[in-house]
Amino acid sequence: MSATSLAPEIQSKIDEWLTGAYDDATKSAINKLIEDNETTELTDAFYKDLEFGTGGLRGIMGVGSNRVNKYTLGMATQGFSNYLLQTNPGVQVKVAVAHDNRNNSDLFAKVTAEVFSANGIYVYFFEGLRPTPELSYAIRELGCHGGVMLTASHNPKEYNGYKAYGSNGGQLVNPHDVNVMQEVRKITDITEIKFDRVEENIETIGKDLDEKYLQTLVDLSISKDAIARQKDMKIVFSPIHGTGGISVPPALERYGFENVILVEEQMVVDGNFPTVIYPNPEEQEALNMALNKAKETDAELVMATDPDADRVGIAIKNDQGEWILLNGNQAASLLVHYVLSAWEKNGKLTGKEYVVKTIVTSYMLDKIAESKNVECFNTLTGFKYIGEIMTKLEGQKTFLAGGEESYGYLVGEHARDKDAVVSCTMIAEMAAYHKDQGSSLYDALIELYLEYGFYKEKLIAITKKGKSGAEEIQALMEKYRSEPPVSLGGSKIVTIKDYQTSTSKKMLSGETEKIDLPSSNVLQFFTEDGSIVSARPSGTEPKIKFYCSVNDKLENKSQFAEVEARLDEKLDIILKDLGV
């Protein structure tokens, strides 16, 4: 049986699945697609194998080699098992496995644990859904050699995914991610996957580790007196149907906040995310219910976490009493400034502290760190690179805080991944601190602009679905490399950084320098007036992202609207110049 207009290599892959040792349900689903002549779906499902990207393995659930299912995750886990056993000879290899609230996440976590156990690997298996940062914490706390989190983060409900972690508690980085995939590619038949559960190799974990994790977060508090005085501050919180519901409220309670208002409709664990279009705290739509609750209750802070609780979106009131959403750059700047200022005030800065951000995150953070004589590292996009730096510097320097523009932050060294649970507690503490000073988070943001410059960023993401979409994105990047723009927003481009070739080129002199970061398909354009534009195809989604950053001086608060309008206009011109 075959569908019309299928490429020979795709038909061959389909035939392998129909004649191989796959279960009857899988074969029936494939045959149904063939009978319905779903050539586009069949092409997308079989034209390639799922690969590790910047965020691990992620895709649409369903049958096929390019879909998330029992077999693709089984192959990934078998390959990961082989690698862990090869690189840790003569010892009992241990891993931790957790999952979020997505449809099938519990099933996929069970399959993952069973494959590990069948390979003689000892598995610490969380009894129920848990946030990603707790999985990262557990790997380090339990002395594991690796771990897996079953989640697709903020993606639509059709998606699921597999985040693979190393012994440092961070997601796999080069060469480990590449080596794991090489092991996966060596598996030519699913009969090579060991699916048979070995009961004695699986230990269920839960509440005891929860307690240790929460206490670790409480120990990071730096303004306990301010919280005690502002304990009645009204905070609205929503987990958007995800794992934040089991971790953030108890963490806020332990910090001392006594007036946390929950969005009850979104406290319900549901992988269909019935109250939102996308469970993405970057989007206002995902925060609408929380904002409505805040208006009803006259709250002072809104926070909402994504399904696996590694990212958080926040809303605050401006000086007109209107609710505004802070973007990831603004939240990261406020958080880093708060932590560094507190350490400075307490006389704890010794010159060995540091912060980390990604190259597409606001360069205001670099200026904040510089003003405090704290080193600021820049990494490629993906929190795994922040975790990698933390691991390299462990015992030599002290990590204070870090983050990326995509709403992921970390305070403290307990994890090697972004942590929305500690971010919620520290953001709430920061709000309490400023309120205690007779100020607000909005006032604090304006003060940052006055001191460091008004930085404004805009992210445009263009989705190109399927095989043809991936080819379009590749062609676009090739064009930017072969025919780069001469100017953007009316300002000449003075430097182009190509992270794929690890080369930084000064356009006037032609002088080049090596970029000391791993190769990545990212281009950055730096203009004469300080604007920065980054073009980056996503490693986990069929889209290309453009990160635009502009800045200007803000002499006094009364000029805010005027300067903001000027920056908005410049951002629009830059995007037009890029043809976006």
In angstroms, rounded to a whole number, what is the distance separating the alpha carbons of residues 378 and 268? 38
Contact yes or no for 316/287 (Cβ under 8 A)? no
Three-state SS for 54? Answer: coil
Active-site annotation, residues? 153
In angstroms, rounded to a whole number, what is the distance separating the alpha carbons of residues 244 and 424? 10
User: For residue 4, what are its two tokens?
Assistant: 């019309």
First to last CA, the chain: 43
Three-state SS for 305? Answer: strand
CA angle 327, 332, 335 (to 5 degrees): 125
Residue type for position 48: K
Contact yes or no for 312/427 (Cβ under 8 A)? yes
The helix or strand, by DSSP H or E, that contains position 177, with its residue range, turns out to be helix 176-185
The helix or strand, by DSSP H or E, that contains position 571, with its residue range, turns out to be helix 560-577
In angstroms, rounded to a whole number, what is the distance separating the alpha carbons of residues 132 and 308? 5
Which segments of 346-403 does DSSP mark as H helices, in order?
Answer: 364-371, 383-393
Contact yes or no for 404/206 (Cβ under 8 A)? no
In angstroms, rounded to a whole number, what is the distance separating the alpha carbons of residues 408 and 381? 11
Question: Which of 227, 233, 288 lies closest to 261, judged by CA?
Answer: 233
User: For residue 176, what are its two tokens?
Assistant: 């480990």
User: For residue 515, what are its two tokens?
Assistant: 């970029």
In angstroms, rounded to a whole number, what is the distance separating the alpha carbons of residues 305 and 313? 6
User: For residue 127, what are its two tokens?
Assistant: 């009894």
User: For residue 23, what are its two tokens?
Assistant: 């279960």
User: For residue 34, what are its two tokens?
Assistant: 């063939």
Q: What is the CA radius of gyration of the chain?
A: 24
Contact yes or no for 385/358 (Cβ under 8 A)? yes
**Residues in Cβ contact with 466 at an 8 Å cutoff, skipping those fewer than 6 apart:** 40, 43, 44, 542
* Residues, the chain: 580
In angstroms, rounded to a whole number, what is the distance separating the alpha carbons of residues 509 and 494? 9
Distance of CA 315 to the CA centre of its chain: 19
